[in-house]
């Protein structure tokens, strides 16, 4: 980071420290840098009082008063409290880090004593963290989240608009629905996907398949997927992905398979995250993204842990959120309150599990329908599926195998 004097040394060290400790959140580091720039540019506009030692404030001079002035300034500009709160949360995190690393001393109230400090802090015992206690209040804001119909259309669009990467993109969206972050999905390895025998066993015993992922802050957690969706992954790995690896190896003898489930169609390399985000967004309605698909998935996870006790009363909010946060890899359980409010408002909990299975089956149907359109003999079946007539996946696969054998 830079300011009028050149390199803004201490904030730069803070950002480097975050980047080194949490290598999987570089996009977040960029966001932190933007937040700090906005705040310190505001500080530079403030006039120092008469008798002050310097003509402008140094970063070490910042107090609660400056935080409050920033809030008022941004509110007057029409900025939402949520935006302001995000920035001040980052700024407080920087000052806490500076206090802990002795760039400032006795400036931030992160000590369990009754002394007065320039920057206040409140210790949240439930989640063992310090926060600035005067963040502007923010009402629950329900952002636009894809509906089940939106996602079904997105899956169909992905598969039907691209023979090359449509199936891959649909599977990535399916992982987002199971609360996977973008990097969670792109880091899953082939060996983590069950074999067909293991999938058959899970189907017979009606068990959920679990995939371990390494998420933000290098914390591992398990994504839960249905056996039907696991089977779609296995079909992709043994089909389209195997064809990519074979083709790239023929063209480049030095090529080494990275072992990731999702690889580039062109050269078999790991996928670029920004490229994938762009592709997923093009399947969705305007102003929606893969991140919003995950938001729907988190709402579903919260709903799955919601319900009623033996007396017919709703389960305690805290209990629901703690269990859902653990399953979704969410750091602050109480920040999931808006998802629980949305879920309860729409009576979501009763529909979650059946929708997950239906979505996997719809994905399989779309893939098979795409396959059979390649064969003139099977066009009547494709038309029948399109008109809503029920035809079993087993029958379609049997016919496909018969044609390919001949």
User: Which residue's entry shows tokens 């839960």?
Assistant: 224
Sign of CA dihedral 198, 234, 228, 344: positive
C-beta of residue 325 within 8 angstroms of C-beta of residue 334: no
pLDDT at 356 over 60: no
Between CA 395 and CA 23 the distance in angstroms is 48
Burial class (CB in 10 A: 0-12, 13-18, 19+), 113: exposed
Contact 388, 365 (CB under 8 A): no
- Identify the H or E element spanning 278: helix 273-282
For the stretch 297-313, pLDDT in tens is 777 777 766 766 566 66
Q: How confident is the model at residue 94 (pLDDT cuts 50, 70, 90)?
A: very high
CA distance linking residue 72 with residue 66, whole number of Å: 10
Residue 260 pairs with which residues in a beta bridge? 189
Closest among 23, 30, 19, 27 to 273, alpha carbons compared: 27
- Cα three-residue angle 298-299-302, rounded to 5 degrees: 85
**pLDDT tens-digit series, residues 214-271:** 776 677 888 888 888 899 999 999 999 999 999 999 999 999 999 999 999 999 999 9
User: Whole-prediction pTM value?
Assistant: 0.52
Contacts 24+ apart (CB under 8 A), 355-361: 355/148, 355/300, 356/177, 356/226, 356/300, 357/226, 357/228, 359/148, 359/151, 359/152, 359/155, 359/174, 359/177, 359/229, 360/174, 360/225, 360/226, 360/228, 360/229, 360/232, 361/228, 361/393
Q: Is residue 214 classed as helix, strand or coil in its secondary structure?
A: strand
Residue 380: pLDDT band (50, 70, 90) is: low
Q: Is 122 helix (H, G, I), strand (E, B) or coil?
A: strand
Give per-residue pLDDT as tens, 153-169: 888 888 888 888 989 99
Cross-strand bridge partners of residue 221: 213
Predicted confidence at residue 103, as pLDDT, reads 95
Strand partners, 209: 225
pLDDT at residue 272 greater than cutoff 60: yes
Q: Are 109 and 120 in contact (CB under 8 A)?
A: yes
Helices (H), 81-165: 81-100, 148-161
Average pLDDT over the chain, rounded to whole?
80
């Amino acid at each position: 980071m830079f300011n009028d004097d050149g390199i803004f040394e201490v904030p730069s060290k803070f950002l480097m420290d975050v980047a080194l400790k949490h290598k999987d959140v570089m996009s977040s580091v960029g966001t932190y840098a933007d937040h700090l720039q906005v705040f310190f540019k505001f500080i530079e506009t403030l006039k120092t009082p008469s008798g002050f030692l310097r003509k402008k404030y140094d970063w070490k001079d910042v107090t609660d008063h400056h935080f409050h002035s920033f809030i008022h300034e941004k509110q007057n500009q029409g900025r939402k409290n949520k935006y302001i709160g995000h920035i001040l949360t980052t700024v407080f995190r920087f000052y806490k880090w500076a206090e802990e690393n002795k760039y400032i001393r006795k400036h931030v109230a992160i000590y369990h004593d009754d002394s007065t400090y320039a920057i206040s802090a409140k210790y949240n015992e439930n989640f063992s963290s310090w926060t600035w206690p005067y963040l502007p209040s923010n009402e629950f804001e329900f952002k636009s989240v894809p509906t089940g119909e939106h996602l079904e259309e997105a899956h169909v669009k992905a598969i039907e608009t691209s023979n090359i990467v449509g199936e891959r993109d649909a599977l990535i969206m399916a992982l987002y629905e199971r609360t996977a972050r973008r990097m969670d999905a792109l880091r899953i390895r082939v060996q983590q996907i069950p074999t067909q025998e293991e999938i058959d066993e899970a189907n017979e015993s009606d068990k959920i398949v679990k995939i371990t992922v390494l998420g933000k802050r290098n914390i591992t957690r398990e994504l839960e997927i249905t056996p039907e969706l696991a089977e779609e992954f296995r079909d992709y790995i043994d089909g389209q992905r195997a064809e990519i690896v074979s083709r790239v190896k023929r063209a480049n003898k030095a090529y080494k398979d990275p072992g990731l489930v999702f690889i580039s169609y062109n050269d078999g390399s790991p996928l670029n995250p920004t490229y994938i985000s762009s592709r997923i967004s093009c399947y969705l309605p305007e102003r929606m993204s893969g991140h919003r698909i995950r938001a729907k998935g988190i709402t579903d996870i919260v709903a799955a842990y919601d319900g009623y006790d033996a007396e017919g009363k709703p389960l305690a909010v805290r209990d629901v959120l703690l269990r859902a946060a653990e399953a979704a890899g969410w750091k602050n359980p109480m920040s999931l309150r808006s998802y629980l409010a949305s879920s309860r408002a729409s009576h979501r909990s009763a529909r979650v599990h059946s929708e997950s299975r239906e979505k996997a089956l719809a994905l399989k149907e779309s893939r098979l329908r795409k396959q059979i359109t390649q064969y003139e003999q099977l066009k009547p079946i494709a038309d029948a599926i399109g008109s809503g007539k029920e035809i079993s996946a087993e029958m379609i696969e049997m016919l496909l195998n018969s044609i390919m054998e001949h």
